[in-house]
Structures are given as C-alpha cells and as structure tokens.
Amino acid sequence: MKAVDTNILARFMLGDDPLQSPIARDLVKAGVFVPLTVLLELGWLLQSRYGFERTHLAASLLDLFDVPGIVLDDDGAVRNAVAAYAKGGDFADHIHLVAAKGVEAFLTFDRRVAANDAAGIGVEVVGW
C-alpha cells in the first residue's frame, strides 16, 4: 500500500481540478494510507484556504474516512479526534494526541488540551 500526500486527498475531496481530481480518485480507489501528518495538514488546508467551518470540516473528514480504499493509522482514535474537534476542541491538538499513543503522558502548558483528551492517553498540564 502507498501513502498519499495532502494534495492528493484535497483533489479527491474537492474535485476541483479537471486533470488531477480523476487521478486522485483512481489512487484512492486503489487503496491508500493516510499518515497522521497528512491528515493534520489536510485539516489546516481545508480550514485556512478553502474556508471549511468546523462542522463542515469534521463531517467531510468523517465522510473521507468511510471511503473504501482509505486506510488510517488507528482509525477509531482518529474518528474520536475528529468528533472531539467537532465539539469545540483544536484539530491539531487532537491529532497530536492520536500520534502520541503509547506514551506515558502528553505534556503541555495548554489546559484546553487536557480538557479535550479524546485519545484518552493522559494529558498533563505542567507549569501551573
């Protein structure tokens, strides 16, 4: 299986390029792995460049995850992270927590991260 870059997923989701979007559809149909870093960048891109609002972004990502051929690292944790983001958490923070699975704790100065630990790995707020 091959991993994809953010631009492949963006063309797949947006269908906005007459040359690249069909190629992206064929690649996804064949089966692709989506690294967490690509997912993080995709969320940023869709928010900042394409103006996706929180609920639209969360729903679009969950729809993407249901596409046959899309493979995620720790599917359940990623879905939980997107659901937590939809309820008001920070998208990047939730993906950081998914990526940190298996650690003793995730250390931060940001109290909001601890309040939204959808991954359940244990967040410790330090320095307060």
14: containing domain: 2-73
Q: Domain tally for the chain? A: 1
Residue at token pair 């100065």? 109
Average pLDDT over residues 92-96: 91
Beta strands in the chain (DSSP E): 2-3, 32-34, 70-72, 106-108, 123-125
| Model pLDDT, residue 105 | 84
Residue 121 phi/psi, 5-degree rounding, is -90, -15
Confidence of residue 118 (pLDDT cuts 50, 70, 90): low
| Global pTM value | 0.87
Average pLDDT over residues 11-18: 97
Q: What per-residue string of b and e applies to 19-58 under the rule 16 or more CB within 10 Å gives b?
A: ebbeebbebbeeebebebebbbbbbebbeeeeebeeeebb
For the chain, how big is the Rg over CA atoms in Å? 15
pLDDT digits (tens, 9 = 90+) for 67-81: 999 999 899 999 999
Selection from 93, 94, 111, 90 nearest residue 47 by Cα: 90
Confidence of residue 47 (pLDDT cuts 50, 70, 90): very high
Mean pLDDT, the chain, as a whole number? 91
Check residues 43 and 90 and name the one with the higher pLDDT: 43
Selection from 22, 110, 30 nearest residue 4 by Cα: 30
Check residues 85 and 105 and name the one with the higher pLDDT: 85
Please report whether residue 50 resides in a domain.
Answer: yes
Helix axes 6-14, 54-65, angle to 10 degrees: 100
What is the rounded distance in angstroms from the CA atom of residue 83 to the CA atom of residue 91? Answer: 10
Amino acid at the residue 42: L
Please report whether residue 58 resides in a domain.
Answer: yes
Please report whether residue 52 resides in a domain.
Answer: yes
Q: Indicate if the pLDDT at residue 114 is higher than 80.
A: no
